[in-house]
Chains A and B, each alone.
Chain A
């Protein structure tokens, strides 16, 4: 589709071919930089605030300027946070990594296989299946949480790891992305060649196709990881036992108890700061693949 809508000058390739560089007006360039600068600030200031606030003790939090440091208490705060409630915060962090890591991995495999099958095999009802899955993209996860709770109650799966993990391995958007990408990046000839060489369908998928689809799969993994990490409503509905909470839900529960235990305010802040770190690390590690993936999708 990008082939059809591509216009001259839209990509760097075209610029090289045409040879002459179109002149940028200083005003439009300045305006673009200004807008980017404003938005960068807009996104970074809350994180800066969070970081600065996490380094203060409870008294200084209210009495010192909110965007600059007072005494450096970050290490003490982290120590207190980890010790509070028998180390329940670490437990939540590990839970979150488990839900998001395992969930995203399974979701990526399932979505990748499903998308690949839809792209590369012809079978009756293929378009119907695909349309139903596409419809799934439109249904917000929040709307499904209550029905899921009622169904899980029937089989006694509420308040277990499964209650959060099982719904997380479904990613309609991942299937969509995998299908588009598989159609574009896995040549039919290659699959045929591998069949002629005697590989079965599964082996073809796992040894040949999956490598070609890596950028798309990394993207699916990243999206799903972030989605599960931030998914708040499903754990809220499903979980009762503190030791099963993911970190987002645990921090929320603390935040609603501030009236009773004021020192929780510091823990919520430091806890939020620490909980962002795994996401940043995942992004940085996978960013290379990810950019690559989005790029190939658009120019292929």
Chain B
């Protein structure tokens, strides 16, 4: 009996120790809240950088060779939403986050509202670098604020239309330049037994790209509170357009990135894909039998004569709260994403499409691509990159928003409910998620 009591006492003491340890981390966190100044450190510095971009080690090695005083150690893992973001949050909680990390544009807000990122806008070099970047990518890292910057843009995903030029030509169908023409083409193709495209229900970023192209805006932040507007006029137009195509069985709805999906493109069942620049690889790897038969054209427009592009994907390199080397970290992040040697290395190893205006004219992006019949497809994307609306902002709870929209979309393609209803219910749940996290919402 006495033993039992003692064991209990030890247990309580252990728990208390763990709880105390937890508290002390909290204290040290709030200690670093004071704005870090952007001054060089004394002596050599070692930075930790977590990224999942394959081959990024090669670019980092170049840096390490040239900068013996600032050594960067790369750590790797699965891509952001597959686990690395969750790890960043745990590490921030534990107080051992790396100095720098890869963060996609749509996740920056989440880290910002959890107070996980340093404002690198306090560094003069960052402010000076602004003009090197494509304007809308800069908008993604400032989150619409005037003098705060939460990352250095790395890559972008301007959207254009991939299409089977051989099939369009053989059947005398003109390449659509407006969404109205796209629907007409869809009807012609359906009559021939194919589908013009596949509507993705799992990857909401494609749909968001369409809304972005239509000048819609899902989130705005006026500095005090967030406005959520998933069902604005532009979103409604886009949702009703695709709903119409779904209702008339003009598009397929295979889950994206699966074997069925690849097979639908490989077998010629699906004829086009409105996707981002990195989609060029998805097609060439997923549909190898169709090599040489694809081309790229600008995205269809809502009004004839317009030139507006959407964006799908893209990421930045951010500096985490608590780093002791803000100056060195930003210096490295700027080099990685603006210098020609680094951008070329990233483009070669991981098909990274740069976010700087200079980067778009990299020699490796000027050549014709064999899979696309020798077309210099990156010219189309470079043009699209300049046509992306700079004001589109992501909200702080995108994981939940994506999941809710996706659930609704999956039902909509099976005939239960509509895309618009899905957006509307995701709007409600997003507002309640924000409130649950004590993030102010403007009604």
Contact = CB atoms under 8 A, between A and B. Distances in A.
B281 interface: yes
Main SS of the interface on chain B?
Answer: helix
A261 B352 CA distance: 11
Given A253-B76, A264-B54, 11 more contacts: A58-B285, A62-B262, A62-B289, A153-B94, A253-B52, A253-B78, A256-B78, A259-B281, A260-B54, A260-B351, A262-B282
Contacts of B281: 259-260, 262
A236 B7 contact: no
A124 B288 contact: no
Interface in A231-287: 236-237, 239-242, 252-253, 255-265
A62 B79 contact: no
A261 B54 contact: yes
Given A125-B7, A150-B90, A236 B83 contact: yes
Nearest to B90: A149
A62 B75 contact: no
Contact of A262 (B3, B55, B284): B284
Contacts of B2: 124
B50 A240 contact: yes
A154 interface: yes
Interface string B257-273: 10100110010000000
Interface in A148-163: 149-151, 153-154, 156, 158-159
B423 to A, nearest CB: 26
30 contacts: A59-B289, A62-B263, A62-B287, A63-B266, A63-B288, A66-B259, A124-B1, A125-B4, A128-B4, A146-B90, A150-B22, A150-B93, A153-B94, A153-B95, A153-B96, A237-B90, A240-B75, A240-B87, A252-B78, A253-B76, A257-B52, A257-B78, A258-B285, A259-B281, A260-B53, A260-B54, A261-B54, A262-B282, A263-B285, A265-B285
A244 to B, nearest CB: 10
Interface of B: 1-4, 7, 18, 21-22, 25, 50, 52-55, 75-79, 82-83, 87, 90-91, 93-96, 98, 257, 259, 262-263, 266, 278, 281-282, 284-289, 350-351
B94 A256 contact: no
A84 to B, nearest CB: 10
A256 B351 contact: no
Nearest to A232: B83
Nearest to A257: B54
B411 to A, nearest CB: 26
Q: Which 4 A-B pairs have the closest CB atoms?
A: A262-B285, A153-B94, A240-B75, A256-B78
